[in-house]
Amino acid sequence: MIDNEKIKIITSVKDWESAIKEVAQILLDLGSITTEYIDAMIKNVKENGSYIVIGPYIALPHAKREKGVLKTDISMLKLEKEVAFPNNKPVKLLICLAARNDDEHLDILSQIGDLLLDDDKVEKVLKSNDINELRGLINGL
């Protein structure tokens, strides 16, 4: 599901917008999305609140594919220090989703859902600061 080059671990970010930009930059650099897609993800949170916070400390930034998805891809940002999203929702893990079609979108969401249902795995992911360990935990679904 995810390669080391698509995982980034950093200590902290100044705000939730920076967190989204940081996780999306990985996909931008790989040619999977455009800057318009990043802007759309930020706009979604500004307009709709923290709906992308899908579990304790986990956010799934995304936007409509028409806003700049060039190919289906996923990236992950792990923060050592949580960042507050609107309504003071704390986040330490961001999984950026870019999907070209509904089937790919649902497949990735299903895999992420499997992760969220495993409390032990979620705890390990949130505590880990090692890219190889994170990749193994995520891909071991």
| pLDDT tens, position by position, 5-32 | 999 999 999 999 999 999 999 999 999 9
Instruction: Note the maximum CA span of the chain.
Output: 36
pLDDT for residue 126: 92
Determine the structural domain holding residue 30 and report its residue range: 4-139
pLDDT for residue 141: 45
Task: Report the domain count for the chain.
Answer: 1
For residue 89, the SS3 value is: strand
Name the active-site residue from 62, 78, 92, 135: 62
In degrees rounded to 5, what are phi and psi of residue 28?
-65, -45
> Which residue numbers in the chain have pLDDT < 70?
1, 105, 140-141
CATH number of domain containing 135: 3.40.930.10
**105 part of the active site:** no
pTM (2 decimals)?
Answer: 0.90
Tell me how many degrees the CA angle 86-87-91 measures, rounded to the nearest 5. Answer: 65
